[in-house]
Amino acid sequence: MSTFSSRLRSRFKWPTFAVAAALVIVAVLVLYTTRTSAPTASPAPAAARPERATDGRPAQQTMPADAAAGDPAAYQVQRLRSLPAVAPGPRAATIAGEAAQQPDLYAAEFVRRLLSHDFRTPRSAHLRWVQAESAVTREPLVVGLIPPDFRDRYAVFSVTDAADTVAPIPTDTEWEALSLQHGYTTVTIERVEEPIAWTNAVASGRISDPGITGREVTATVVRHTTVDGERRTAKFSVAVSLNLEGPPTRPTWGFVAVISYTAIQVS
């Protein structure tokens, strides 16, 4: 099956703005939001925590079949702990200027870059860019039960974890397969908006971090490949929900995590 498909799947994540409508139960910090995703896949659980940063290339690890059903919170924390640290890419490549000063502009540019894949280049470079854009929040409704020592990995984890679904960044295997087809994607951002559930949560005082915010971004993604000398394209309608951290807690906006990801093939 190709990296992109018309499948629609769901998963659980730590509480975030995508579940803000259900914030009446905020005391239960192990509650997870639903993450819907489809056309791109992401790495399997990785090896044990390394002593130093790596390129994020996952190693196979066996998880109990009933782990997710038995304790979803512990299962996700276990997967996060097993994710190798990713060294950040060069700061010169990060989002800067006006786009880094305004959350709507930052969300649009971040999603555009996140979904713009050149499979002819190393996947590790894309992960390093994500890590360079990452920002850490202390907001309980976002980080939930994530141990503080691992919160700096949450950004990459949120775009690559594929233990029970697919993610915005394809796995190493899929990336390599698409590189053999000279694959790449082009992205057009269609809309950026702040979810009403998030603004209501802020207005009611349920969000304690003054720098955290949420955005929903819709986009059109076109995948280009060449198979047996024939150029092919596939178009997808994509929706990404994400959390950002910015002023007044930090001078510019940064990426906390992708909370939900949906992509449906339209042609």
- Residues 140-164 have a mean pLDDT of 88
Give me the pLDDT at residue 79, please.
87
Give me the pLDDT at residue 80, please.
86
pLDDT at 249 over 50: yes
pLDDT at 15 over 80: no
Q: Summarize pLDDT for 50-103 with one digit per residue, the tens.
A: 222 333 333 333 445 445 456 777 888 888 888 889 999 999 899 999 999 999
Q: pLDDT higher for 141 or 214?
A: 214
- Residues 168-191 have a mean pLDDT of 96
Of the candidates 241, 187, 189, the one whose C-alpha atom is nearest the C-alpha of residue 215 is 241
Cα separation of 263 and 7, whole Å?
8
Give the global pTM.
Answer: 0.77
3-state secondary structure at position 82: helix
3-state secondary structure at position 86: strand
pLDDT at 189 over 80: yes
Give me the pLDDT at residue 69, please.
55
pLDDT at 209 over 70: yes
Residue 145 in contact with residue 32, Cβ under 8 Å? no
Give me the pLDDT at residue 141, please.
86
Strand-strand pairing, 184-193 and 254-265: unpaired
Q: Summarize pLDDT for 103-135 with one digit per residue, the tens.
A: 999 999 999 999 999 999 999 999 999 999 999
pLDDT at 22 over 60: no
Cα separation of 85 and 83, whole Å?
6
- Residues 216-223 have a mean pLDDT of 98
- Residues 19-29 have a mean pLDDT of 30
